[in-house]
Structures are given as C-alpha cells and as structure tokens.
Amino acid sequence: MKLQASNIYKSYGAQDVLSGANLTVKGNEKIALVGRNGCGKTTLMKIICRIEEPDQGSVVMASGTRLGYLSQITFEDEQRTVYEELLTVFEELTTLQARLESQALVLEKDHSDQQLEKYEKLQTRFEALGGYDYEYELKNVFFHFQFEEADLHKKLEEFSSGQRTRIGLVKLLLTKPDILLLDEPTNHLDIESIEWLEGYIKHYPGAVILVSHDRMFLDHVVDEIVEIEFGKTMRFPGSYSHYVKAKEEYIEKNHEAFLRQQEEIERISALIEKFRYKKNKAAFAQSKIKYLDRMEKIEDVKTDQSRMKAHFSSARKGGKRVLETEGLKVGYDTILSTVDLTVMKGDRLGIVGPNGIGKSTFIKTLMEKIPSLGGYFHFGHQIDVGYFDQDSAQITSDKTVIDTLWDNFPMIDQTQIRNTLAAFLFTQDEVFKEVYNLSGGEKVRLALACLMLEHDNVLLLDEPTNHLDIPSKEALEKALEDYDGTILFVSHDRMFLKKMANRIMEMGPQCKVYNINYEEYLEKKGTGELAEAKKEIKEVSKQEVRSSKLTFNEEKAIKNRIAKLEKLLEEADADLESLRELRFEPEYYQDYRKMEELDAQIDDKHNEIAALTKEWEEKMIRLEGEE
C-alpha cells in the first residue's frame, strides 16, 4: 500500500466539507476524484499533500513514497530560462554528466586502468539513470504542451500565468513522483495536448490521483472513480462511464433494499405491538425487539438532486441565412486565419484548432470587439446575437448576483429574476453574494443566466463549459440541444463537441469547414486531406529534429531504446493475441462480467501498443534525421 487517507474530516467555519472521507492507493492505480464544485476534491488532495491539516483522521504513506502536486511546483528564480528550470529536475544526471566530461579529459592524459575503470563506473551509472535520454525526454514533454524550441531559451518571467502553469505541469511530469496529483490538468490545453496527456497518464509508471470535469479524458485515463458527495467518499472501479451506470444501479438496488427492510421493520413492529402485552407471547415479542435492535439498518441513499435548469429560446425566428464571411482575416497585428463560411439557421458549428490559431479571435471579430484585418462578414435578416465570453469566470464586480441580473434586465419582475437565478443554482442568501466573491463556476452560471434572458436567435459561445462541473455541463448540453436557434461555439471539451456539433470548422491559416459531426470529423482525420495536413506537420517536425544534431552517446541511446521498443511491441502483440483467444473460452463467453473485464484488458493492450508504436515512430524520426 502506497497511501491511505482514513476517516478525514474538514470544516471551514460552519461549512462541513469532508465528513469521514477515505482514499487508498495500493499500487499504480489511476484514480479520479469526482463530485460537484465545492464538494471537497481539492481539499482532499491538499490534505494528502499535507498542504492542509484535517480536523480529524489520518494520512499514512509507505516509507520513501514521493508525492507530486502541481500547486507545489514553484519557480525560485524567474530570471532563469525554461531550459535551466527544467534541467533542475535532472540535477543528479547533469552533475554526473559534468563528472563524465571531466573524467574524459583526465583520460586524454592518463590512460591507466584505474582512470578507465572510474570513467566506466560513471558511465554505467549515467546510462542506468537514463542519462542519454533525459534531454530528449525533456523536449518531448515540453513540445507536447504547445511550446516551441525557442521557448526553452526564454526567461520564465516572459510567460503568462497560464503558460507558467503549463511549464509547471511539464516540470511535475518530468520529476516522475510515485504518486502524481493533478487538479484540472486539461485546463487551457488544446485537444492535441489533451490527447497526448491521456496517453502519458494512462501509461505513467506510478499512481495518479486527479480531478477533472473532462468526461472523455476520465474515460480514457482512469481505472477507478472515487466520488465525494455530502463529505463522504464512495469507490467505483472502472471508467467514468462505467461509474455513471454503476452509481445508478447502486442507488436503485439500495433503495429497493431499503424499502424491503422498511416493510420488514413495519411487519415485525406490528407483531411486537400485537403480542408484547400477552403473557404467553411476551418472550416472543422481546426476542423480536432484540432482533430489531441488532438489525443493521439500511439508509436510503442521499443524492444531491440540485441541477441547473437552463432553457434557451429565441424571441424572433430570424432569416434562414444566418452568417456569411468572405475572405475574413482575423488576428491582432498579424493574420492568424482566413475564414470563408456560410452559416444556416439551425447549424451547430463547432470551431476547433490548436491554441493561438484564432478561434476566440474569430468570435471576437464577429462581435466587433476587435476589427477584422481584411475581408467581410454579414449577419442575416433579423438576427439577434448573444455572446458568451470565456473570460466570464474572471469578472470582478461589487454588485450582488441579483443586482447584476436585474440591472441588465430592469423590465423583468423580481419573481422571474429569482426563478431564473434558482434555475442556475443561486438560491436563498446566495443571490446577495457579491460577484467578486463567486467561484469561477458560479460566475459562468451567472453569465449563462444573463445570456438566457436575452432570447437571441444566434449564440456565439467561447469555451462555455470551462469551470462548470459535470452535472452543470450536462444541463447546459440539454438546454442547448432543445434551443431553437443557431450556435457557433469554441470548445476543447470533446464530449461537448460530440454532443453538440453538426458541423465542424477547423481553424488554420485557411479555415476548412466539414458538414459532418465531430465523431465523423475524427474518422475523416485519418484519411484524405486531413491526413495530408498531418503528413506536412510530420515533415516539419522531421526538419526540426534534423536541425538538432545528435551526439554519439545520444544516437547510441536512441538505437538501444528502439531495440527495446521493438522487443516490447513483439511481446505486447503476443499478449494481445493470447487475450483475444480467451474470448472463445466458455469460462469467458458464458460469464458477462469476465467478458467485460477481458474486453477492458484488450483495450488496455491496444492502448499500450499504440503508445509504444508512437514512441518508436518518434525515435525513428529522430534517428532518420541523422542519416
């Protein structure tokens, strides 16, 4: 057992956050903490990391276990370059490397066996610690978080807070602690980076405890869910989707058992009342009283039933042709993208592309918050446009929640204002909170409440699910599915894209529009023109690799790793074939649960092969650059 948090209680003033929470890490599990915003997920992580103390309970770790938590990653000197900062993770290796280089100089003058043996010992230690791979690993992880080679040589102070958070995440991943704790690791990452992080965490050699509201990320990464509700924890093995079904089944079965027990208690209580005062039956009645006292009572499951109940509708129908752009050039000082687009009534256009390519800039241009750099756009007849800004979670205002809504809609009576706020989970005294005291999720809900009351027939949404917990995301999806207008939206939430989009616009220097849903778009990415685009990207990456010449030792290490990867791939293919053959064994095909477990093992093996193949390809590209 690596870690055990037992019977954890934590309160802040009168608010009880954790009330007997438990968490166990036995091996290399990938565990997700799930629950509503404010349920205590981050609090439990901080208690595990000893950033906060529990009011009651204990956290025990195996001797020598190393924890890594993103908020603990700090930069002592922001004058350092990123490369210098990330190298601090490999301090032992860089020290060994310096000693090796120094010993090599000694060998040039002194060829004695003693000096040669000293060099060989240093080299063996250096190689065993991954000395010929660490620089490649550093760059490999760094480049997957939307950074370039030039960024390595910039000072930390030159980066935004969001970029510094990503650099901190890179540093944390490179430290490889025994237990990795991640709180919303996909925030502000583009889809490509999220997908890479999924593979990294899935095959991480240690345990991972994470908090995320990205449902697809959870499905792809975790093998255990720990739900926090009303301060207590409940463990569910499997993915997030499996947890959703298992929780429903648990509630249903528990409720049935509760009702059966209540019937039994009523039946026995009636017998006791009937016979307790009859001399010849008094002993029988007493035995039944003792039986009830000893009975382990089943509690009906208490669940949080509060749900956001949004309902978006349009006041005017508007024309069929909603938006036209022709050669619309978006950007600030330089052109990021050129957009040629026609949007028709009822479209749900999902806008995708890497960070920095101009997705939010395009939306801001349509809202005339920034000027276009060329071309034109035109909204159709009787089109009313509503806008959700991804910066809504950063709003600071001295106004209360209720005044914010009322000031925007002074013609609406108090009852409707209160009902609207209640639909967005602002009830009782919460409506009198100042906006600056709200959490990011609460500010987003308030912005959505304002948007709902506008009754526009076109919605421009820029990352509307950021900061929302999963129940609120699902409520927003339902509201938008029922909406009678047109939606253009930017999102990195793949589940949201999957549920909402019926068209996809891929932002790039020249935008491409696909009249298909998100799943079909992903399938198309593997063929045709999108495959050509990926091929071009790969060619660019090859050229970048070639620009960095390998040393003899680096080339040797890469060749060794390629040989190891080929051996691992051979073994993994054999394992996969063995697992597939088990499907035809009666022990499995006659047992649904065993077959389900086997399918999960086969999926894991496929993922392992994919990760090994990807690394093999990267190493081969690196090596080919030298030939």
Which 3-state string (H, E, C) describes 441-503? HHHHHHHHHHHHHHCCCEEEEECCCCCCCHHHHHHHHHHHHCCCCEEEEECCCHHHHHHHCCE
Distance between CA atoms of residues 395 and 534, nearest Å: 38
Distance between CA atoms of residues 324 and 383, nearest Å: 12
Q: How many residues does the chain have?
A: 627
Give the predicted TM-score (pTM) of the model.
Answer: 0.76
Q: Please give the mean pLDDT across all residues of the chain.
A: 87
Task: Give pLDDT tens digits for 352-370.
Answer: 998 888 999 999 999 999 9
Task: Give pLDDT tens digits for 406-437.
Answer: 999 999 998 999 999 999 999 888 899 999 88
Asked whether 225 and 238 are in contact (CB, 8 A), the reply is: yes
Task: Give the pLDDT band of residue 544 (cuts 50, 70, 90).
Answer: very low
Q: If you average pLDDT over each of 244-248, 296-300, 473-477, 535-539, which comes out highest? A: 473-477
Tell me if residue 224 falls in helix, strand or coil: strand
Task: Give the pLDDT band of residue 596 (cuts 50, 70, 90).
Answer: low
Task: Give the pLDDT band of residue 618 (cuts 50, 70, 90).
Answer: confident
Which tokens is 336 given? 């990021």
**Integer CA distances (angstroms), 283 to 274, 276, 288, 289, 293, in order:** 13, 8, 9, 10, 15
Average of pLDDT values for 215-234?
A: 93
Q: At what angle do helices 592-624 and 191-202 cross, to 10 degrees?
A: 110
DSSP code at position 354: -
Distance between CA atoms of residues 497 and 520, nearest Å: 12
**Integer CA distances (angstroms), 297 to 7, 234, 257, 265, in order:** 21, 18, 10, 10
Q: If you average pLDDT over each of 96-100, 195-199, 208-212, 238-242, which comes out highest? A: 208-212
**Integer CA distances (angstroms), 621 to 147, 555, 562, 625, in order:** 19, 12, 11, 6
- Per-residue confidence (pLDDT) for residue 529, from 0 to 100: 43
**Angle, CA 196 vertex, CA 195 and CA 202 arms, to 5°:** 90
Asked whether 26 and 137 are in contact (CB, 8 A), the reply is: no
Distance between CA atoms of residues 495 and 300, nearest Å: 32
Asked whether 30 and 204 are in contact (CB, 8 A), the reply is: yes
Instruction: Order across the sheet with 335-344: list the strands.
Output: 335-344, 321-331, 374-379
Alpha helices in 328-430 (DSSP H): 359-366, 401-408, 414-423
- Per-residue confidence (pLDDT) for residue 127, from 0 to 100: 81
- Per-residue confidence (pLDDT) for residue 527, from 0 to 100: 45
Phi, psi of 235 (to 5 degrees): -100, 135
Closest CA to 448 of 413, 483, 415, 498: 483
Asked whether 213 and 207 are in contact (CB, 8 A), the reply is: no
336 sits in which H/E element:
strand 335-344
Neighbour tally for 509: CB within 10 Å:
10
Tell me if residue 108 falls in helix, strand or coil: helix
Distance between CA atoms of residues 226 and 237, nearest Å: 9
Question: Looking at the DSSP assignment, which residues form a beta bridge with residue 532?
Answer: none
Distance between CA atoms of residues 14 and 16, nearest Å: 6
Q: How do 335-344 and 321-331 pair as beta strands?
A: antiparallel
DSSP code at position 434: B
Task: Give the pLDDT band of residue 300 (cuts 50, 70, 90).
Answer: confident
Which tokens is 548 given? 């960095």
Q: Please give the span between the terminal C-alpha atoms of the chain, in angstroms, as a whole number.
A: 48
Task: Give pLDDT tens digits for 458-469.
Answer: 999 999 998 899
Which tokens is 17 given? 């956050």
DSSP code at position 383: -
- Per-residue confidence (pLDDT) for residue 473, from 0 to 100: 94
Distance between CA atoms of residues 122 and 626, nearest Å: 27
Question: Looking at the DSSP assignment, which residues form a beta bridge with residue 155?
Answer: 81
Task: Give pLDDT tens digits for 328-359.
Answer: 999 998 899 999 999 999 999 999 998 888 99
Task: Give the pLDDT band of residue 584 (cuts 50, 70, 90).
Answer: low
Asked whether 521 and 504 are in contact (CB, 8 A), the reply is: yes
